[in-house]
Amino acid sequence: MALQNVIKLEKSLWNAHVEFMGVDNDMAEMYAQDRNDVIEANGLWKAGKIAELKTHIDRLDTSIREGVVIAFAEDLGSQWVEEQLGWSV
């Protein structure tokens, strides 16, 4: 099962990264790092490493954390997110 909203978030961050390249490299780098965090979260979920996923999400900056939590909730349901990740949506 692919997490469509997580993938959508990752693609959105890629597009923002590309948009800022050569214009504002600091912003481009920020979006690239956020994208990498989303890719890592998706990979942890695919590998069934839910405890590591929770820790990874807990350590993210606020903005990208909210985006990841919401994307997971849209894909897997708010109950799953609350039970497995400890976040209320």
The pLDDT tens digits of the residues spanning 66-77 come to 999 999 999 999
CB atoms within 10 A of CB 11: 12
Length of the chain equals 89
Task: Say whether pLDDT at 1 is over 90.
Answer: no
Q: Give CA–CA dist 84/39, Å, rounded.
A: 19
- The whole-model pTM stands at 0.94
16 with 5: CB under 8 angstroms? no
pLDDT the model gives residue 78:
97
pLDDT, tens only, 7-61: 999 999 999 999 999 999 999 999 999 999 999 999 999 999 999 999 999 999 9
